[in-house]
């Protein structure tokens, strides 16, 4: 599978070199940005698997852009690029939730393994978030059934399972329908 990557780097030659390394390694560079604002807009439009983001960029620095992208849940993984290896930069990058940190100058031998690991970790995190959201949805539906029909948690779960089987849909879909019924839609 070709992963989609956006490269945000304000130095044109460095950006070009990184893009060449990625393309030669089989990645699909879907966009290039020279500042943080461009990076955010490209990510909103292209929904990449990964963003390589320089920390020091004009208009919106890489840390601010990365925070925005992660807050909006637009991208699965961000790897920060920088000429700085100071603890304050590393701590800030860890705090915002970026998955990787590469100190320039960049060579293909160190870039590609970082990309592979970051993409894998990003997908793992996305899957974990989805599982948590699904569990939360099912639990919310059980609470609705418990309150509406004065059921125990176990009985509410049994009722949820039965509704799912009767409708031939997943427990998650049935739970979403039950939650939707609160906002005026028909209860399963």
Residue 188 has pLDDT above 50, yes or no: no
Give yes or no for residue 29 having a pLDDT over 80: yes
Q: Identify the burial level of 12 via C-beta atoms within 10 angstroms of its C-beta, where 0-12 means exposed, 13-18 middle and 19 or more buried.
A: exposed
Tell me how crowded residue 86 is: count the other CB atoms within 10 A of its CB.
9
Look at residue 40 and tell me whether its pLDDT is greater than 80. yes
pTM of the model: 0.83
* CA angle centred on 16, ends 15 and 19, rounded to 5°: 85
* Long-range contacts of 37-43, Cβ-Cβ distance < 8 Å, separation of 24 or more: 37/65, 38/8, 39/6, 39/8, 39/65, 39/69, 40/65, 40/68, 40/69, 40/74, 42/6, 42/8, 43/6, 43/69, 43/74, 43/75
At residue 131, the pLDDT reads: 96
Using pLDDT thresholds of 50, 70 and 90, give the confidence band for residue 85: confident
Instruction: Check residue 17 and give left, alpha or beta (phi > 0: left; psi -120 to 50: alpha).
Output: alpha
Domains (ranges, CATH) in the chain?
4-106 (3.40.50.2300), 129-182 (1.10.10.10)
> What is d(CA 78, CA 98) in angstroms, rounded to the nearest whole number?
5
- Rounded CA separation 130/116 (Å): 21
The pLDDT of residue 23: 97
| Mean pLDDT (the chain, rounded) | 93
Beta strands 28-33 and 100-103: pairing type?
A: unpaired
């Amino acid at each position: 599978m070709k992963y989609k990557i956006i490269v945000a780097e304000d130095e044109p030659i460095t950006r070009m070199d990184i893009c060449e390394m990625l393309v030669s390694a089989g990645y699909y560079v879907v966009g290039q940005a020279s500042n943080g604002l461009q990076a955010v807009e490209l990510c909103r439009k292209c929904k990449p698997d990964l963003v390589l983001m320089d920390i020091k960029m004009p208009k919106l620095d890489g840390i601010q852009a990365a925070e925005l992208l992660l807050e909006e849940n637009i991208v699965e993984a961000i790897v920060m690029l920088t000429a700085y290896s100071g603890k304050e930069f590393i701590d800030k990058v860890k705090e915002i939730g970026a998955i990787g940190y590469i100190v320039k100058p960049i060579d293909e031998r160190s870039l590609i393994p970082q990309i592979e690991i970051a993409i894998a970790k990003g997908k793992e995190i996305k899957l974990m978030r989805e599982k948590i959201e699904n569990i939360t949805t099912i639990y919310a539906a059980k609470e609705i059934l418990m309150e509406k029909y004065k059921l125990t948690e176990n009985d509410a779960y049994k009722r949820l399972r039965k509704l799912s089987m009767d409708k031939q849909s997943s427990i998650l879909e049935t739970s979403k329908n039950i939650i939707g019924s609160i906002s005026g839609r028909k209860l399963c």
